[in-house]
Amino acid sequence: MAGATATAAGAVRAAPASAADRKIVAFCCRECAYAAADASANARTPLPPTVRLVLMPCTGRVSPLHMLSALAEGADGVMVAGCLLGQCHYREGNFMAVDRVAFVQRLLKSVGVEPERCRMFTMSAGEPPKFVAAVREMDRVIGGLPPLPRSDAAAPAAGAAVAVRGAA
């Protein structure tokens, strides 16, 4: 699995820079954003091909390690899509996600990476157009940025993948 990830990362670097080659990982809350994505797919609304959805039980489950690992392993942008503030199925999970996204943005900014690569969106399950708009907005922002450069100095991945599973 580590090898496959490394090859994928290599392919991303070798490919000519064009906006369609970017990868955006969207961590979606099961209660709202994923349902909205489902509804938008049922309505056959085209989504940008850059986005990859990851189903989460709640955005409160997304740790800074998930977001940074996604960026380090080949994503050019990370979006966290959760419920409207105050409508979290687990009461306050999305508040935690808001703060964690802010923390990751500050970490990225502090080491010279554009903080726009990590963003939080909120929507309800009944708003597929809002989800599509959020994904298109993210696609536009990431398309305007250069591909994310990565150094291979640190050993890639197997350990990081294991650690993500243990992180809260």
Partner 1 sequence: MPLTHRGREILSRVPGGTLHSAVGVGCEIVRHEELCVGCGKCATDCPSGASERGAFFDVNQLLDAPADSRRGALGGALRRLMRHGPDGPVEVPERVTVYRTIIYDDEKCLGCGTCARGCPAAAIEARPPQADAEPAAAGAPAFEGARA
Binding site for partner 1 (CB under 8 A): 64-65, 68-69, 71-73, 95-96, 98-100, 102-103, 106-113, 148-156, 159-160, 163-164, 166-168
Closest approach of Cβ 56 to partner 1, in Å? Answer: 17
**Nearest distance in Å: CB 81, partner 1:** 18
Query: What span, in angstroms and rounded, lies between the C-alpha atoms of 40 and 72?
Result: 29
Residue among 32 and 71 whose Cβ is closer to partner 1: 71
Q: Which is nearer to partner 1, 2 or 113 (CB)?
A: 113
CA distances from 32 to 87, 95, 101, 131, 141 (A): 9, 15, 18, 10, 23
Please identify, using beta-carbon distances, which residue of 19 and 164 lies nearer to partner 1: 164
Contact 157/2 with Cβ under 8 angstroms?
yes
User: What one-character DSSP code corresponds to residue 80?
Assistant: E
User: Min. distance of Cβ 17 from partner 1 in angstroms?
Assistant: 17
Which residues, other chains included, contact 88 with Cβ-Cβ below 8 Å and sequence gap of 6+? Answer: 31, 58, 59, 60, 82, 94, 95
Residue 18: CB minimum distance to partner 1, A: 21
Nearer to partner 1, 57 or 159 (CB): 159
Q: Is 79 left (phi over 0), alpha (psi -120 to 50) or beta?
A: beta
- Strands 24-29 and 51-56, by their bridges, are parallel
Closest separation between CB of residue 38 and partner 1, Å? 28
Residue closer to partner 1, measured from CB, 28 or 72: 72
